[in-house]
């Protein structure tokens, strides 16, 4: 194996944050896009749990947790100091991943969770949304005035959250969070990692992060 391999699914927030870190760090990969209902056999051989992202390094190491992929990428190159305030960032990411994300899923797929109405599920998310906005009143970004690990790790989930009902999100009294979200939505880094790739199972592979088709 001469090149790192990345298995990814374009819209998955875990895969988005991994791709953003990998592109920022400038790590060249072979990107293999998949559909979650049709996972490549080779990926499952290396990571039987079947979630994305999965990185297989050119040394054969398997990294199949998104935060671990981010930290691996930043260990290679972190020119803008995303790893600043790492302990603070890590604690905030834990809240996002283990508390907010399950509530987001219940809100997004409220029909699968009829124990509460969609509005009640949505109300349960608001403590974290308010917490983020309060942090962004103190700094331009979540832990300081420059982009850090927490911003990139949490942004894809707030993006997903906002677009469940964008008109409702836009009228929330959380202008700082909305400014922060719009900053990343409009960023060159986000645009770079979000093109529509054809599927690996259909015979397509790409150089990443320049996104050129491998002939």
User: Which residues have a Cβ under 8 Å from the Cβ of 163 and sit 6 or more positions away?
Assistant: 169
For position 192, what pLDDT does the model report? 98
Predicted confidence (pLDDT) per residue in 106-117, tens digit: 999 999 999 999
Residue entry with tokens 């990571």: 47
CA distances from 178 to 9, 191, 198, 200 (A): 25, 18, 32, 35
Q: Does residue 62 contact residue 54 with C-beta atoms inside 8 Å?
A: yes
With a cut of 80, say whether residue 4 has pLDDT above it: yes
Domains in the chain: ranges and CATH: 4-80+193-208 (3.40.30.10), 86-189 (1.20.1050.10)
With a cut of 60, say whether residue 5 has pLDDT above it: yes
For position 67, what pLDDT does the model report? 98
Bond preceding residue 144 cis, omega within 30 of 0: no
CA distances from 149 to 69, 122, 131, 136 (A): 12, 26, 17, 15
Predicted confidence (pLDDT) per residue in 116-172, tens digit: 999 999 999 999 999 999 999 999 999 999 999 999 999 999 999 999 999 999 999
With a cut of 80, say whether residue 2 has pLDDT above it: no
Predicted confidence (pLDDT) per residue in 162-201, tens digit: 999 999 999 999 999 999 999 999 999 999 999 999 999 9
Q: Does residue 173 contact residue 116 with C-beta atoms inside 8 Å?
A: no
With a cut of 80, say whether residue 1 has pLDDT above it: no
Predicted confidence (pLDDT) per residue in 41-67, tens digit: 999 999 999 999 999 999 999 999 999
Q: Does residue 193 contact residue 206 with C-beta atoms inside 8 Å?
A: no
């Amino acid at each position: 194996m001469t090149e790192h391999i990345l298995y990814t699914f374009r819209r998955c927030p875990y895969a988005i944050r991994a791709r953003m870190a990998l592109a920022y760090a400038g790590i060249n990969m072979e990107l293999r896009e998949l559909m979650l209902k049709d996972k490549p056999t080779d990926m499952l051989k290396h990571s039987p749990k079947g979630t994305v992202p999965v990185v297989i390094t050119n040394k054969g190491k398997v990294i199949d947790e998104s935060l671990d992929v981010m930290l691996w990428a930043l260990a290679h190159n972190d020119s803008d100091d995303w790893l600043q305030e790492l302990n603070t960032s890590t604690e905030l990411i834990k809240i996002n991943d283990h508390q907010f994300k399950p509530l987001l899923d219940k809100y997004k797929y409220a029909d699968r969770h009829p124990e509460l109405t969609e509005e009640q599920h949505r109300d349960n998310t608001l403590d974290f949304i308010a917490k983020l906005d309060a942090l962004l009143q103190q700094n331009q970004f979540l832990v300081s005035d420059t982009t850090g690990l927490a911003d990139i790790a949490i942004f894809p989930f707030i993006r997903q959250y906002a677009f469940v009902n964008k008109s409702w999100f836009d009228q929330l009294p959380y202008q700082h969070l909305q400014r922060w979200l719009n900053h990343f939505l409009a960023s060159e880094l986000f645009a770079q990692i979000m093109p529509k790739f054809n599927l690996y199972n259909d015979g397509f592979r790409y150089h990443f992060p320049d996104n050129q088709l491998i002939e």
